Structure formats: structure tokens, C-alpha cells
Amino acid sequence: MATDEPSETREERRPPYLSSIIADALRDSTERRLLKLIRQEPVPRHLGLIMDGNRRYARGHGLLVEEGHLRGKDKLEELLNWCLEVGVRILTVYALSTENLDRDPEEVSQLMDLFAEAFTDIAKDPRVHRHRIHVAAIGNRAVLRPDVVAAIELAERATQDYSEYRYNVAIAYGGREEIVHAIRRLAEQVAAGTLRPDQIDDRKVSENLYTANLPDPDLVLRTSGEERISNFLLWQVAYSELYFSDVMWPGLTKTEFLRAIRAFQLRHRNFGK
């Protein structure tokens, strides 16, 4: 018997829980495929991470800005596990720029609360001690709250003898400020007579940066769809590969992370040669 009502599609007849199961299965299958490919080739030794989009994520999901930052903190916990799984040895995350300190005082205070809690948790995190992860903060600690500085020092002391992995948090950090800081240190050495001006080269500059004992990042991943470095490791990323993801930081999935790693593996790096 004919009817004017449109027939149901297969998707419409499918129970919601079944669609969720299928989506999860497809995601898991994609992750397994990517992991298999990734494990066949070298991964980035040093990953730089610009975690952008907490506030926009919160607005898009009807959440308070504070909740967006909290979810961003939880996402970083996940990403640390992903890095361990694929074998990334050094992770440097851009947690708070010097410019971020000019935001609304209440938001800055909430961020400081999160940092104090996060570094305190890191100091006793079983995963950190099991994998012997060396934790360090880079940036201008003089502008941080005393309790945040105390938490940073607690985490650094608790992991100072580790060297299997490195986890660096750029907090109250600015790339230009870091370079100025290095120039000042070099100028002091010249004034003291321990360094001649003609001895200053790129190696000497690198030795006086916050990241003096680290190799430069192989890959920099930025979320939120913005395609810029935003004053992050300006000297160090001269030859880094860049990957820009459209997702907001708290919404980053393991699949998207693995795609970034795989994209790095498929690029040819010639370091300007």
C-alpha cells in the first residue's frame, strides 16, 4: 500500500546504543591500524605541544571557563599515556604564556590553583616514578604564586634523578623572553672575561636557553585550528615539523594524536640542506 511518509533509513532504525558501539569499534580499529604503522618507523624523540582551545571548548559546550581548563588538565594526563605508548621520550607542553598572565585575575587565579595541584600530583604519580620521568618547569617563576613555585620544586626534587623520559612544562613562559635571558647570560660571561664575543655561536646560545640540556623538538603539535607558534620555543623550533589540529585541546582524541605522529613519519626532513 502506497504512503506519502518517507521510509526510515537504516541509520534511523538503528538503536542509539548500537550506533555508539559501531563508532567505538571503528575508532578502535583506526587506532590499532595507526599504532601498527607508527611502530614500524622512528617516532619524534621530542614533542612540543601547544595546548590551545580550553576556553572555546568550554563556551561551545556550555561550560564555565574553569571547567574548560580542568578538562584540559585531564586531557594532558591522557596524552602523557599516549606518549609513553608510542615511545616519545621528551614532551614539552606550553601551559601558560607570559601573555596569559594578563587575563582576568579570577581566571589566572584558577589556573594557578590547577598548576599547584598538578605539580603536587606529579610528585607522587606512580606512573612518573615507574617510568622514571624527569619533570621540570621552564619559564619565569618570579611571576608565579609562591604555592605554585613550591609545587614545581616538589615535583622537580622528586624526579631529579630520573632520565628515561623528560616532561617539561612551559609556565609563565615566552620565547622572546627566553632568548633575551640567554643574551643577558652571554653578555655577563663576556663582561666577566670568560667568553669572547667571537666565541658566541648558535651552540652557545642554545646552551644558555631554558632547554639547554634538551634536543630541539622534532614535532610541534598545536590544537584549536590556529596555525601559529605564539611565542613558543622560538629558537628551538627552527627545523621542527609542525602539525595543526582543528580540535580544541580538551577534545583531542587519541586517533588525532596518532595521526599527528604518523604525519611526522611521512615527512622528509632535510634541516634546510
Structural domain that includes position 255: 43-174+217-265
SS3 content of the chain, % helix, strand, coil (to 5): 55, 15, 35
Q: Indicate the Cα dihedral angle 39, 44, 48, 52, nearest 10°.
A: -40
Q: Is residue 254 part of a domain?
A: yes
54 is an active site residue: no
Sequential DSSP letters for 121-175: HHHH-HHHHHTTEEEEEES-GGGS-HHHHHHHHHHHHHHTT--SEEEEEEEEE-H
Q: What is the rounded average pLDDT of the residues 83-89?
A: 97
Q: What is the rounded average pLDDT of the residues 63-76?
A: 96
165 pLDDT above the threshold of 80: yes
| pLDDT tens column, 126-143 | 999 999 999 999 999 999
CATH code, 245? 3.40.1180.10
5 pLDDT above the threshold of 50: no
Q: Is residue 152 part of a domain?
A: yes
Catalytic residue among 4, 24, 28, 52: 52
pTM of the model: 0.89
Q: Is residue 135 part of a domain?
A: yes
**In which band, very low, low, confident or very high, does the pLDDT at 26 lie, cut at 50, 70 and 90?**
confident
Q: Is residue 3 part of a domain?
A: no
Q: Is residue 28 part of a domain?
A: no
- Structural domains in the chain (count): 1
**In which band, very low, low, confident or very high, does the pLDDT at 73 lie, cut at 50, 70 and 90?**
very high
Catalytic residue among 24, 74, 100, 246: 100
pLDDT value, residue 268: 83
Q: Which residue has the higher pLDDT, 107 or 28?
A: 107
Phi-psi region of 230 (alpha: psi -120 to 50; beta: other; left: phi over 0): left
The fraction of the chain above a pLDDT of 90, given in percent, is 87
Count the neighbouring beta carbons within 10 Å of the beta carbon of residue 33: 13
Give residue 159's Cα distance to chain centre.
19
Q: Is residue 21 part of a domain?
A: no
52 is an active site residue: yes
193 pLDDT above the threshold of 50: yes
Q: Is residue 54 part of a domain?
A: yes
15 pLDDT above the threshold of 70: no
272 pLDDT above the threshold of 80: no
